[in-house]
Structures are given as C-alpha cells and as structure tokens.
Amino acid sequence: MPPKEHKRRLFADDEVLLDFFTRLETAQEEQKQHFFYLLGLILMRKKILKFEDIAREGDREFLCLRLPREDKVFRVPNPKLTEEQIEALKGQLSEILDFQV
C-alpha cells in the first residue's frame, strides 16, 4: 500500500481556540475582528461559549456570548460577513492554527 502523501489535519484543541479568541477581544484591526467573530461562532458551536443575547447600538450589532466557567460575557461585534468572506476566513484560520474548521 503506498504511503499517504498529505498529512492528516487535526482539529485544534478547544483551549487553543479559546486562548486565541480571548486575545482577539481587544483587537482593533478589521481582519482580527473578523477572526474574533468567527472564533466566537466556532466556540459557540462547540458549546464552549453560550449565546446570551444580541445587543444593538445604532447600526452596530453585537453577539453576547458567555464563558460559563469564568462567568464572563464577551461582546462580539458582528462584521456582517458574506458566506464567501466566512469561507476565506476559515481557510486563513486553518492555516494560522494548522487545523481544520
């Protein structure tokens, strides 16, 4: 049997994702805010973060996501990404963290 040519991609550890997410909380750069939003969605899907509410301030929208073990709420700005932007971000995130979303 010939050896496999490409290495198997692993899923990132939840703690790595959460650490990356928390470090992005205060980021001002647009790209980092997009990653913050995408990681919030991923961590919510993994049940690490819990959806609490959607807050609106003027024309801005924020996801309010709770980290139950620390009883902390993150206000995650919704950058209103298109599906294409989300797919591109997932690819970039996979490269950065070397995992599959």
Is residue 64 included in any domain, yes or no? yes
Range of the domain at 41: 14-97
* Apex 72 CA angle, 66 and 76, nearest 5: 55
Is residue 7 included in any domain, yes or no? no
pLDDT in tens, 53-95: 999 999 999 999 999 999 999 999 999 999 999 899 988 888 8
Residue 13: pLDDT band by 50, 70, 90 thresholds?
A: confident
Contact 19, 40 (CB under 8 A): no
* 50: three-class secondary structure by DSSP: strand
Angstrom distance (rounded) from CA 37 to CA 45? 12
Contact 63, 76 (CB under 8 A): yes
Is residue 33 included in any domain, yes or no? yes
Is residue 4 included in any domain, yes or no? no
Is residue 3 included in any domain, yes or no? no
Is residue 5 included in any domain, yes or no? no
Lowest mean pLDDT across 17-26, 28-37, 85-94: 85-94
Looking at the structure of the chain, the number of domains it has is 1
Does the predicted model carry a pTM greater than 0.85? no
74 strand-pairing partners = 65
Would you state the pLDDT for residue 4? 52
